[in-house]
Amino acid sequence: MKGVQFLVAFVLLALASKLVSASDPSPLQDFCVAINDTKDGVFVNGKFCKDPKLAKAEDFYLSGLNIPGNTSNQVGSMVTPANVQQIPGLNTLGISLVRIDYAPYGGLNPPHTHPRATEILVVVEGTLYVGFVTSNMDNRLFTKVLHPGDVFVFPEGLIHFQFNIGHTNAVAFAALSSQNPGVITIANAVFGSDPAINPDVLAKAFQLDKNIVNQLQSRFWWDNN
């Protein structure tokens, strides 16, 4: 009998830690602190949350955004995130933050989109050439060279990039209008998808020789996020 009670308690406990990944766009209570994802789970739009009575200050806290990201990689940049994956208290609240480090002489945060967020970036150190491209027909490029204290906006869903054109490290903080903004690095999604897109599609779309497409598809595509 005791065994049964223990088992029931155990299962309920297992369950509590199992129902992960679910919340939503506009908060319906003061906060709804996310519970960590589970492997065998059921999900919701956003994240499941824990009992608000159990919320604590640590749920709204993260340390470490003073530590430079390692930029020794293919693109020479690193994005350190502070979104709902790192700060469960952000769940349902519609905002997040990143620190971005760029190596000197060409550190690049390559062309990408955030499918669910606008980005506002402030430069803390270094010199960045930044830009975004509008949608069809015009595909206008808006660019600016940014110095410390400069702010720039990348509207939701548009392709954008930042490029370190200085000879020192560059550092920026950027805020995003979603607790889970998502990132689509264009080159990675197009040439590095798993499995690969039919190369005829890419050769025609990008006006590239099919051999070059095949080469690109066999390369490694680093994700700096």
Query: What is the footprint of a copy of itself within residues 164-193 (CB under 8 A)?
Result: 173, 175-180, 182-193
One-letter amino acid at 223 equals D
**Per-residue binder mask for a copy of itself (CB under 8 A), 59-98, x = binder:** -xxxxxxxx-------xx-----x----x-xxxxxxxxx-
Pairing mode of beta strands 77-82, 128-133: unpaired
Is 2 a residue that touches a copy of itself (CB under 8 A)?
no
| d(C-alpha 26, C-alpha 125), whole Å | 34
Query: Which residue shows structure tokens 């009992």?
Result: 51
| d(C-alpha 222, C-alpha 107), whole Å | 13
Is 210 a residue that touches a copy of itself (CB under 8 A)?
no
Residue list 89-148, contact with a copy of itself (CB under 8 A): 89-97, 99, 106, 108, 110-111, 113, 115-120, 122, 124, 129, 131, 133-144, 146-148
**Per-residue binder mask for a copy of itself (CB under 8 A), 14-33, x = binder:** xxx-xx-xxxxxxxxxxxx-
- Tell me: cis bond preceding 81? Omega within 30 of 0 counts: no
**Least Å from the CB of residue 89 to a copy of itself:** 5
Query: Which residue shows structure tokens 């690109």?
Result: 216
**Least Å from the CB of residue 34 to a copy of itself:** 10
Question: Token pair of 83, please?
Answer: 């979104």
**Residues 71, 126, 163, 166: which binds a copy of itself (CB under 8 A)?**
163
- Other residues' Cβ atoms within 10 Å of the Cβ of residue 37: 14
Q: Is 147 annotated as a binding residue?
A: no
Asked whether 145 and 216 are in contact (CB, 8 A), the reply is: no
**Least Å from the CB of residue 20 to a copy of itself:** 9
| d(C-alpha 47, C-alpha 35), whole Å | 7
Question: Token pair of 150, please?
Answer: 């400069």
Q: Is 109 annotated as a binding residue?
A: yes
Q: Which of 78/176 has CB closer to a copy of itself? A: 176
In the chain, what is the straight-line distance between the N-terminal and C-terminal CA atoms, in Å? 51
Is 49 a residue that touches a copy of itself (CB under 8 A)?
yes
Q: Residues marked as binding?
A: 109, 112, 114, 119, 160
Q: Residues marked as binding for oxalate?
A: 109, 114, 119
